[in-house]
Structure 1
């Protein structure tokens, strides 16, 4: 089985602060955000503890490139991306069993 990489967006509430990231350990990384492991980080300061959007990649370079591109987007584009998958901005980590 090949490794998967997740490009993801964490948020603190609907249309609130958002953080875009990439990881090869989705469950562990989401746990870190939810448990404020990195004190003083953006997700810690703004309480971004809800996984509101994600995209699965099999190629790490493609995942990193996608993350970088999304980080450059204007905020309304990110909101539309999230709402296309998750109109209610629910915490999708529960759906994934995290």
Structure 2
């Protein structure tokens, strides 16, 4: 199977109060969001109930997506907030499912 047309997603989830941000990477956003929302992913996102997709970036390279994820995780909360605000100023749910 060729990966030439495969997309990877770097995404940010938050909880209902927007006090917590979770950053992840996946090749199947719909499946990954389902896992988060059903509590199938033990760890940080489940503990803090990060279910709301508020930011998303696509990449055609898994290496680039992972690099971007690490860059975002290393950044300040202020920079993460600014990034979400630039795409989604109301911090609305971006996932239609």
Is the 1:15–1:79 Cα contact (8 Å) retained in structure 2?
A: no
| Regions of 4+ moved over 4 Å | none
Question: Does 2:43 align with 1:28?
Answer: no
* Root mean square deviation of aligned Cα: 1.2
Map of 1:90 onto structure 2: 92
Quote the Cα distance in structure 1 between the aligned partners of 2:92 and 2:9. Answer: 18
Q: Which runs of 5+ in 1 are unaligned?
A: none
Map of 2:13 onto structure 1: 10
Quote the Cα distance in structure 2 between the aligned partners of 1:5 and 1:50. Answer: 19
Quote the Cα distance in structure 2 between the aligned partners of 1:36 and 1:54. Answer: 20
TM-score by length of 2: 0.91
Quote the Cα distance in structure 1 between the aligned partners of 2:91 and 2:84. Answer: 7
Residue 15 of structure 1: how far off its partner (Å):
3.6
Aligned pair count reads: 94
Residue 38 of structure 1: how far off its partner (Å):
2.1
